[in-house]
């Protein structure tokens, strides 16, 4: 395992103009998905990136290698649904061996995971984030537009059996949709050794704006009482989730509150979309196009400089509350 400081040869860490250290990259390998989550993608959407605009595996590797040289050691592969990208195992393998990448995870809806779990582990993937909003078959079908319950549950267990742990389960908590299932989901995760992370729905794109927002403060109070939680003694994950743990040591539950208690002041991440667009903030349009540079034959040194230039564009904060209609693209286009 390489440490980022070794890989970047002691060069200046990647920092934005607000003094935030950038050390986390999300890499979308496709904008396609086999589910249509109500809060993510509009039902009749068909404006996907053209295949000739998708970064090739080699281009993805070059960009991630450049970020790693600049001290970005945590990388999460995402989408769309990343397991739909052809030769995802090869992409994982190429990123897993990059100097400086010390935490390589993948975010999936788990529908295809039974087929891929062992190979992903073999390719060098460290761990999984799995999206699961409900344990109720009908609710899953309704939310995801397809009866995927059995495939998802089998996929989750295959990921666990393959040792892609710790597995974090991401649940977008929504009023009147799955709010009543939160305790059940927490018990399921604690029983299986998964780390539940509850997430507030964000007004990203038309679908996100129509999602039924539920602030998590009340939910947290409920769970503290029900599962006898206390704040986690040590920081987990290095991201925006605030973790609580059961006093009996069974496990942790995280709360991600981009709306009710935003964490922009400590935002440490940027997102690379499948077409090579670098998005600097989920809730703003700020972006930087890397594909034209890659295809024009940019050298490594200039690529590093271009990334530094891009980071200068990172906005101070999202404006989901002040301007909820601003972001037209949706999560699986950006790379969630």
User: Please, what is the minimum distance in Å from the beta carbon of residue 56 to ligand SAM?
Assistant: 20
User: Please, what is the minimum distance in Å from the beta carbon of residue 230 to ligand SAM?
Assistant: 26
Q: How far is CA 144 from the centre of its chain?
A: 18
Q: Is 30 in the site for ligand SAM (CB under 6 A)?
A: no
Q: Is 170 in the site for ligand SAM (CB under 6 A)?
A: yes
User: Please, what is the minimum distance in Å from the beta carbon of residue 228 to ligand SAM?
Assistant: 27
Alpha helices in 196-239 (DSSP H): 205-210, 217-227
Map tokens 């006093």 to a residue: 247
Q: Are 304 and 70 in contact (CB under 8 A)?
A: yes
- In this chain, which of 117, 156, 195, 199 binds ligand SAM, going by CB under 6 A? 199
* Residue 263, CA atoms < 13 Å, CB-side half-sphere: 15
Indicate left, alpha or beta for 214 from its phi (over 0: left) and psi (-120 to 50: alpha). beta
β-sheet bridge partners, residue 277: 289
Q: Per DSSP, which regions of 213-299 are E strands?
A: 229-231, 242-246, 252-256, 269-272, 277-279, 287-289
Burial of residue 90 (CB within 10 Å: 0-12, 13-18, 19+) is: middle
- In this chain, which of 7, 40, 113, 294 binds ligand SAM, going by CB under 6 A? 40
- In this chain, which of 94, 131, 268, 277 binds ligand SAM, going by CB under 6 A? 131
Q: Are 81 and 35 in contact (CB under 8 A)?
A: yes
Chain positions 53 to 82 lying near ligand SAM, rule: CB under 6 A, are 78-79, 81
- In this chain, which of 94, 105, 107, 114 binds ligand SAM, going by CB under 6 A? 107
User: Please, what is the minimum distance in Å from the beta carbon of residue 295 to ligand SAM?
Assistant: 26
Ranked by CB distance to ligand SAM, the top (closest) residue is: 336
- In this chain, which of 156, 158, 172, 272 binds ligand SAM, going by CB under 6 A? 172
Q: How many residues does the chain have?
A: 336
Interacting residue ranges for ligand SAM, rule: CB under 6 A: 33, 39-40, 78-79, 81, 107-109, 131, 170, 172, 199, 201-202, 204, 208, 211, 331-332, 336
């Amino acid at each position: 395992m390489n440490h980022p400081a070794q890989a970047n040869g002691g060069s200046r860490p990647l920092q934005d103009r607000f003094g935030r250290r950038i050390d986390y990259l999300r890499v979308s390998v496709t904008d396609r998905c086999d589910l249509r989550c109500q809060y993510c993608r509009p039902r009749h959407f068909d404006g996907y990136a053209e295949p000739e605009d998708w970064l090739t595996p080699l281009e993805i590797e070059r960009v991630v290698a450049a970020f790693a040289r600049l001290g970005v050691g945590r990388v999460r592969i995402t989408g769309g649904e990343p397991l739909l990208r052809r030769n995802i195992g090869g992409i994982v393998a190429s990123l897993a061996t990059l100097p400086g990448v010390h935490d390589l995870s993948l975010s999936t809806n788990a529908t295809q995971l039974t087929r891929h779990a062992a190979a992903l582990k073999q390719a060098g993937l460290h761990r999984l984030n799995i999206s699961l909003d409900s344990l109720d078959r009908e609710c899953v079908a309704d939310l995801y537009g397809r009866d995927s319950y059995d495939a998802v549950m089998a996929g989750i267990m295959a990921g666990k059996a393959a040792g892609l742990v710790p597995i974090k389960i991401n649940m977008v908590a929504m009023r009147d949709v799955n709010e009543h299932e939160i305790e059940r989901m927490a018990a399921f995760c604690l029983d299986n050794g998964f780390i539940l992370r509850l997430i507030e729905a964000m007004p990203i794109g038309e679908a996100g704006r129509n999602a039924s927002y539920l602030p998590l403060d009340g939910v947290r109070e409920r769970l503290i009482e029900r599962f006898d939680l206390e704040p986690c003694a040590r920081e987990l994950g290095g991201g925006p989730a605030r973790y609580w743990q059961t006093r009996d040591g069974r496990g942790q539950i995280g709360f991600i509150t981009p709306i009710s208690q935003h964490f922009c002041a400590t935002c440490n991440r940027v997102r690379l979309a499948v077409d090579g667009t670098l998005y600097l903030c989920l809730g703003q349009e700020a972006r930087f196009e890397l594909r034209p540079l890659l295809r024009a034959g940019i050298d490594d040194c200039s690529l590093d400089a271009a990334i530094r230039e891009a980071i200068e564009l990172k906005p101070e904060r999202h404006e989901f509350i002040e301007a909820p209609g601003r972001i037209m693209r949706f999560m699986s286009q950006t790379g969630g």
